[in-house]
Structure 1
Amino acid sequence: MPTTIYEGNPTAPNDLASLKTLVGRKYQNLIERTITFLPHRWAAAALLLILYILRVYTSGGGWYVVTYALGIFLLTQLIAFLSPKWDPDSDVDGLNVSLPTKGDEEVKPFVRRLPEFLFWHLIVKALTIAIFCTFIPFLDLPVFWPILLMYFFVLFAITMKNQIRHMIKHKYIPFTVGKKVYNTRD
């Protein structure tokens, strides 16, 4: 039986599958520790975005296709973040699904299709991948970037217009603006 470097450590992986599992668990533990640090998480995401912009600017290349793909991915995640989990426009299996409303007996909260933490996590992963893509020279494809930029802005405008119409039609706001304060002194 061949000896391994990790022989004395009982938690050391013996093969590639257990190494992947160990790394996955450590990563999941690290990510779950960040849940309560909301401003810090978003500051880290903003820092990654600034690093990406600096990398593109200082590399001398355009990285237009990588930036366009990143923008489209972030747009789809933003739409999922702003959308309700159960869309009343789609009648699935004959169920009459309605958005949360304030009734006589209970208040139903707004449930997102993509929760805030997963939204942040996907943004951080996408920015990290985009930064690494800028180190691969064959991904810096020569394209006429004004067309990509114009197409992205048109796509953004149309998508957000549809999302805002959906929000107005079904009378929901995907953000909480603070804790409701009740005035007990009248």
Structure 2
Amino acid sequence: MEGTGGDSSSSTASLNQWRHDSSRIFQFYLDKTTPHLVYRWIGTFVLAILYALRVYYVQGFYIVSYGLGIYMLNLLIGFLSPLVDPEMEPSDGPLLPTKGSDEFKPFIRRLPEFKFWYATTKAFCIAFCMTFFSMFDVPVFWPILLCYWFVLFFLTMKRQIMHMIKHKYIPFSMGKQKYSGKKQSSASSGSNSRAD
């Protein structure tokens, strides 16, 4: 009897070790994708197109698509929202400037870009897998769901844009500002060295 208890604990230990190793390998490859912003999003859009083609080909799973759309809208709102909402109670963290004379504070998202990408990709993978199980194919009249999703999208975006205007922040930046140093002086010093 002691042998059977030992076998189950060793198999549990080996299962935990395998889970830990696979988690580390997955995290290693996930970390390698961090600097490749464009390629990550291209891969996600290819996955989204595959999902859309699957739904179109099967002509079903509209509830899954609607749930995916609502989840994506929730992620988008988190991506466009500041970490600390100025309308809420002030906190110890960085706040958005409310006046022109306030000190510049960078926009910090509630949902960072990498987590937004990861959650989006994972959602498309899960939704794609759900299309292979008929229990998720609930018969609905899809135009009503589509209209309702558009109404939700426009109302939510209107509220978010009004929040941006009220608190004067823009959630997008085009990278670091670049300064054009003294290019003329380096060119003239190069011509002076040639003259010597």
In the TM superposition, residue 47 of structure 1 has moved relative to its aligned partner by 0.5
Q: Where in structure 2 are the equivalents of 1:5-154 lying within 5 Å?
A: 14-59=13-58, 61-91=59-89, 98-100=95-97, 107-154=104-151
CA displacement, residues 53-81 of structure 1 (integer Å, 9 cap, x when unaligned) = 1111222x311000000000000000000
Q: How many residues align?
A: 177
In the TM superposition, residue 98 of structure 1 has moved relative to its aligned partner by 3.3
In the TM superposition, residue 107 of structure 1 has moved relative to its aligned partner by 3.1
In the alignment, structure 1 segments of 5+ residues that lack a partner are 5-12
| RMSD between superposed Cα atoms in Å | 2.9
Partner secondary structure for residue 148 of structure 1? helix
* Aligned counterpart, 1:159: 156
Partner secondary structure for residue 156 of structure 2? helix
In the alignment, structure 2 segments of 5+ residues that lack a partner are 183-196
In the TM superposition, residue 178 of structure 1 has moved relative to its aligned partner by 3.8
CA distance in 1, matches of 2:104, 2:28: 34
TM-score for the superposition, normalised by structure 2: 0.80
- Determine if contact 1:100/1:109 at 8 Å carries over to the other structure: no
CA distance in 2, matches of 1:166, 1:49: 29
- Determine if contact 2:80/2:109 at 8 Å carries over to the other structure: yes
Q: Larger helix proportion, structure 1 or 2?
A: 2
Aligned AA (1:179): K
Larger gyration radius, structure 1 or structure 2? 2
* Identity fraction in percent: 49
